[in-house]
Amino acid sequence: MAAAAAQALAEQRCVTPVDVCAGLGWVHDRNVAAWRQGRIGCLEDILQAGPARLAAMLDCLARWASANGLETGEAGDAAAGPAGRPLRFTTGGDPAAEQAWRARWVPAGLPAAERERLAEQAGKPADLLVIQPVQDWACTDCGGTGDLLTIGAAGPLCLDCADLDHLVFLPAGDAALTRRARKGSGLSAVVVRWSRARRRYERQGVLVEEAALTQAEQQCLADADARMRRRDRDRDRRAAQDVALQAQFAAEIARLYPGCPAGRAEAIARHAGVRGSGRVGRSAAGRALDERAINGAVVASVRHEDTGYDALLMSGVPRDAARDRIRPAIDRVLAAWSGAPPRSTA
C-alpha cells in the first residue's frame, strides 16, 4: 500500500484510495474510467478485494498519509456522465464510508496555484458519453433510432433529442488531433462501443464541433514534423526507462534468489516489465521494487515454466485445483534458488 501511495503521490502530487487500489492491481484503469463515466454503478463492484481488505487499506492509507505529513481534502468525485449523477463508491452507500473513499491527500505547504489546479482537476465532471449500439433500439423521446445514442434519465436518446446532433465524429487514432479538437470544442462527447469478445465498452472516438475539428486539423498540419521528432525522443526515453527498470528488477531477483540463473532472472524481469502489459512489473509496487511484487513475478514464471500447470489447465483442471497440485513443485524450485528449506507459496 505504501509503495502504491508513494508512486501516485510522486506522479500526480496527490493520492486517493482509488489511486492505491489501481496501484495494488485491485482495479484496472479502464474500469475506473468506466465507473467515472457512469457505466459501472458502484466502485466496489469492480474491486478485486473484499470488504475486510478494503477497510484495512483505507485505515493504512490514512495512517501513512498522517505519518508523511500530508494534508487531506475531498477528492471531488461528485459527477458522472451526462446526468451529473453522484458517483458511488460502496455497495451499501454508508455516508461515512463514502466520505472515506472521497479523501484526497496532498503534500503540506503545496503552493496555492498547485493546490487549486489539483482541486479543479479532482472536481472535473466525467466526459459526456455516446454509445455505438450493437442491438436495435428506439429513442425514448421521439421513437426514432440511429447509429449513436446517449443515455438519458428515462432511457436511450437519439442525438437529435439529446441536442448533440450538430457534432461530428472524429475516429480514435490521432491523439494530437483529438486533444486539440476537444480543447477547441465548446461541447464534446466520448464515443464507445460494447465489445462482446472483451466484455467491456471500448473507445471509438469523439464527437466535436465541426469548426473545432477544422482548426485542429490545420494546427496538426502546421507542426507535424516537430511532433514526429518529439515522438521519437519520447519513444527513446521510454525505452531507456524500461531497460533501467528491468535491470533493477533482475538485480532484485538475484538478491532474493541468488540461485536463480542470471539469464532466467533477466527473462522474468523483461516479461514482468513490458510497458502496457498490466503485469506486476508495471504496477506501482513493481516499479518501487517491492519484495512482494518481485516474488509474485518469480512465482508466476516458475508456475508456467517449471511445472505442469499449463498442461493441467489445458486438460480441464480448474485453476485453483491446478495451483494446489503444482504448489510443491514451485516450493522446491524457490528453495533451490534461495538456498533455504522449501517454503509454501500459498
Report residue 303 CA to chain centroid gap: 26
pLDDT in tens, the chain (346 residues): 888 898 888 878 888 999 999 889 898 877 887 787 666 778 898 898 888 999 999 999 999 999 988 887 655 554 444 445 678 888 888 888 888 898 888 888 777 777 677 666 665 666 788 999 989 999 998 999 999 998 876 788 999 998 999 999 999 999 999 999 999 999 999 999 988 887 778 889 999 999 999 999 999 999 888 888 988 898 888 889 889 999 999 999 999 999 999 899 999 999 988 887 778 778 878 888 889 899 999 999 999 999 999 999 999 999 999 999 999 999 999 999 987 554 444 4
3-class DSSP state of 31 = helix
185-215: buried (b, 16+ CB within 10 Å) or exposed (e) per residue? beebbbbbeeeeeeeebeebbbbbbeebbeb
Sequence letter at residue 80: A
Burial (CB < 10 A; 0-12, 13-18, 19+), residue 13, is middle
Distance CA 154, CA 162 (A): 12
Residue 207 · residue 130 · CB < 8 Å: yes
Rg of the chain over CA atoms, in angstroms?
Answer: 24
3-class DSSP state of 311 = helix
In the DSSP assignment, the letter for residue 38 is T
Return the residue matching grid coordinates 436495435.
Answer: 136
